[in-house]
A and B are shown apart, each in its own frame.
Chain A
Amino acid sequence: MQSILEVRALSKRYGSTLALNNVDLTLPKGKIIGLLGPNGSGKTTLLKIVAGLLTPTNGIVLVDNQPVGEGTKALISYLPERTYLPDWMTVDDCLDYFADFYADFDMARAREMLTRLNVPANKRMKQLSKGTREKMQLVLVMSRRAKLYLLDEPIGGVDPATRDYILDTIIGNYDNEATILISTHLIADVEKVLDEFLFLKEGVITMHDTTDNVRETQGKSLDELFREVFRC
């Protein structure tokens, strides 16, 4: 099976803290993969390195066989855990911005999703609630026909109804050829949509398997396995 992401001997150090420790990883195309681990395990660091926002201390990252750079940024659709759209931009400005820079941005799809969300096109970001801004970012990210989606805590800090909306949006809008890497610690909510999962603990990948295999061989849900592995 062809891989979309290859990570070799990847380490990231912040001062004396080792956030990622010699990580090796290969992700296939066309899968939804959970990047699971407790807070501070290195999930965000890994996603930010792949997105090109952090420079690794050591190691190699290849996205579709290319080193991280201008070329890979055109293939990746990244949803960070924070809101990054400028306050002064209107919803329409944001759509224009994405359409200008991303050749794979599907404007019709974005408008359709925003209509369903009842977000007025002329509203500025500062006039939207935090939840709506997060949804807006998700709409922008999922309206691209990217090869690799990196979603950092897309359902963290939102109510259960919104969680369902977000997961439906993710599932309903991704291409079968694309891979989605979702970072979260809310396992029970995402478990049903995951093909594979990675457990990340203190910067080390401790497990990489399919969710079906866990259920079949261990007779446990992913949530149960997570609680067992990461028990304090």
Chain B
Amino acid sequence: MLKKLMKHDFRALSRTLFPLQIGILGGGLVATLLTVLTIRIGENTARSDGSALLRALIMGVSATMSVLIGIAIMASALVTLLLICYHFYRSFMGDEGYLTFTLPVSTDKLILSKLFTGMIWTLINAVVIVVTLLIFSVFGTTSNSIANMDVLKAIRMFFTDVLPQAAQYVNVPLMIIETIVIGILGLAAQMLEIYFAIVVGGQVAKKHKVLAAIGMYLLINMGVGIITTTFMSIVTFGEGLANIAFDTVQEVSRFMTSAFGWYGVLFAGLAVLFFFLIRSIFKKNLNLQ
């Protein structure tokens, strides 16, 4: 049943999120092309008549374009998150709740389906953003050749020099796996925190449920902040991390491994907590108006 739920949730979200991702990529490509054109035309003109003003103007246009693309990409990430949250709200708190909650499916699966589809779309959005930024960095920042060789060299250097060097001090594959796991746990905890705020907002408010959900999120987020700070303070002193001098690579590595692990525990704990809170409300206090 989870597969079927996810299939329908994915289909519902794809209607809006797929065109949005295409828009981000398309927008990125157009911005890259415009920037390259601006740089090339401007540089040629500046070179021919030696105008410093023109050169400055071109740099300005190019920089503005970079800022605009950055803002658009940030906005797209926010819009993606908002659309995922709105889908959750409609499915559970709106009229569609009459359909969702009468399905012969366990509450756990209903929540998990929304969590997994939300996470998958967030990750897709992250990949699209990275690809768009890469395209812009490689193709939109040079006037001499098609691709910016410095950016490509830096990327190659990361794999040929930085990673092998780091491997002398840390277990690189383990670090990569740790980062991915913590990223996933952090995303799950964050998503469930937002979902929990939506559910509580929907329960406490008869009208203006969205506003109530935003208010609840701010409140819950403060609580999470306090829990995180307290937890990490205890860990820092308990593990003796506060005494690390950070003057050798081994010490930095020890700090990172330990901190990463405890952040993983914290995120997993928060995700489980929010999951069971949502589950409890749906199972014991559901009052769909």
Contact = CB atoms under 8 A, between A and B. Distances in A.
Interface stretch (B21-29, B49-57, B96-104, B151-159): B96-104
A64 to B, nearest CB: 13
Contacts of B287: 54-55
Given A84-B96, A100-B8, A101-B4, A53 B102 contact: yes
A169 B98 CA distance: 22
Given A70-B106, A100-B8, A52 B96 contact: no
Interface in A77-96: 78, 80, 82-86, 88, 93
Interface string A41-70: 000000010011111000000000000001
A80 B4 contact: no
A101 B103 CA distance: 7
A144 to B, nearest CB: 11
Contacts of B8: 97, 100
A101 B12 contact: no
Given A74-B104, A86-B12, A100-B4, A80 B286 contact: no
A138 to B, nearest CB: 14
Contact of A84 (B11, B98, B284, B286): B98
A72 B99 CA distance: 15
B95 A52 contact: no
B1 A101 contact: yes
A86 B96 CA distance: 7
Contact of B104 (A71, A82, A97): A71
Interface in A143-181: none
B95 A84 contact: yes
B102 A55 contact: no
B104 A88 contact: no
Contact of B105 (A55, A70, A80): A70
A102 interface: yes
A93 B97 CA distance: 17
A88 B12 contact: yes
B269 to A, nearest CB: 27
B288 interface: yes
A70 B101 CA distance: 9
Contacts of A208: none
B101 A80 contact: no
B285 interface: yes
A111 interface: no
B15 interface: yes
A29 interface: no
Contacts of A109: none
A97 B8 CA distance: 8
B76 to A, nearest CB: 21
B284 A85 contact: no
Nearest to A84: B98
Interface string B1-38: 10010011001100100000000000000000000000
A73 B90 CA distance: 20
Nearest to A150: B102
A76 interface: yes
Contacts of B103: 73, 101
Nearest to B91: A86
Contacts of A82: 95, 98
- Which of B7, B95, B104: most chain A CB closer than 10 A? B104
A47 to B, nearest CB: 11
A52 B284 CA distance: 10
List the 10 closest pairs (A to B, CB-CB), nearest first: A74-B104, A84-B98, A73-B104, A53-B288, A84-B99, A80-B98, A100-B4, A84-B95, A101-B103, A70-B106
